Structures are given as C-alpha cells and as structure tokens.
Amino acid sequence: DIQMTQSPSSLSASVGDRVTITCRASQGITNQLGWYQQKPGKAPKRLIYLASSLHSGVPSRFRGSGSGTEFTLTISSLQPEDFATYHCLQYKSYPRTFGGGTKVEIK
Amino acid sequence: EVQLVESGGGLVQPGGSLRLSCATSGFTFSDYWMDWVRQAPGKGLEWVANINQDGSVKYYVDAVKGRFTISRDNAKNSLYLQMNSLRSEDTAVYYCSRALEVWGQGTLVTVSS
C-alpha cells in the first residue's frame, strides 16, 4: 500500500497568513493526488485534483503543486472560513490512501 | 444539483450486519465510479471500497475484504454497502462519494454491545 505522510498534523495561523501543507507519498504517484477540506461534523469537500487542478467553485487562493512523491497545498491568504482540517488522498493505486490530516486553527 | 444521501446507519452488536444505502440525484449515476469512505470518531479518513459504472469491477481495503460487499442499482440511482461480521473497529461515519469528487453527508455506524 502507498503510505501518505502529511505534515504538519496541526498548525495555528492568523487571517491573512500564507499556509503550506505537505504530503509525501511512500512511492511515486505521478500527479494522482487530491486535497480535501473538512469542517467539524461535515463531509469532506474536494479542493484540488490531479495535484494542481482547482475543483469548480474553489477560490483561487488555494493552490496545489507537486508530482511524484512530494505535494503541497498552499493557501495564499487565510480567510476565516478556511479554518478546517485538510486531507490529501492518492488515487494512483489501490487501496486509495489518505494522509493523516492537518488541522488549521486560529492563532 | 448533485445530491448523495446515505442511510441505514445505526447501532449494531459485534458480529452483526448492516446495509448502508446511498440515494443519488442530479447526475447520470451510471456514468460514474462510486466509493465508500469512512471516518472513525476523531480519526482520519479511510477509503473502504469502490465500484465501476456497471458493477463488474470492485475494490476493497484489506480491512473489510470478505466482510463488506459494495453494489449498485443503476435503475434506482443507488449505491449500497452490505457490512457483515461487524467489529468495534468498524465504528465510523460512512460517506458515499461520486468518484471521490462529491460526497454525501455521511451515516454513523456504531458497533457495540
């Protein structure tokens, strides 16, 4: 199975900050990676697919990058509604595997 | 509007069975792979299974192989997850998803005596 290591597991940031979350795959997954946002008690929402493509309706402050084994989700200017948990997911092979999640909290 | 609505969750004893359903609308169901993903309380997401458009291809995570069965009824625009021999570690919110793009609100399964 491909292991997805996400870091950090949590971070504190202020509105307007630039935030970067990293996901590392245990083997190459080309660009078969997605990023999801999840708020407490709610279902995940896809932000990014194919490592860098923005899901429809997602604000442009969210940016995904990377390929192979190293991937990054960047929020260019954190907004109040962005405080949530973020998950990466590889879909290069089965079983699909998620990273452990990154909780973005208010500083 | 795309909608996925899960149902069938509840409290079940260890060793018991439960069948989850996911009713969909707003898109051509038969065009898409469908997935089940679960989340144990306070934990991360775990992909469980998926099924191709006509139901002929299915994949499972090892933890549920031989116990869970994914299926679909394209005439009813519905996805199912038959869960047998349930264990306490299967306790989770179960989400139905259209190809991991769009997700339902989830249904809680609690396995406890």
pLDDT in tens, A31-57: 999 999 999 999 999 999 999 999 999
Q: How many CB atoms lie within 10 A of CB B31?
A: 10
pLDDT digits (tens, 9 = 90+) for B54-79: 999 999 999 999 999 999 999 999 99
In chain B, the percentage of residues whose pLDDT exceeds 90 is: 100
Residue numbers in B near A97 (CB within 8 A): 47
Q: Residue B103's closest chain A neighbor by CA?
A: A43
Distance CA A104, CA B86 (A): 34
Q: Which of A51, A59, A89, A71 is nearest to B103 (CA)?
A: A89
Structure confidence by residue, pLDDT tens digits, B14-57: 999 999 999 999 999 999 999 999 999 999 999 999 999 999 99
Question: Best of A96, A97, A102, A103 to disrupt the B interface by mutation (most B CBs within 10 Å)?
Answer: A96
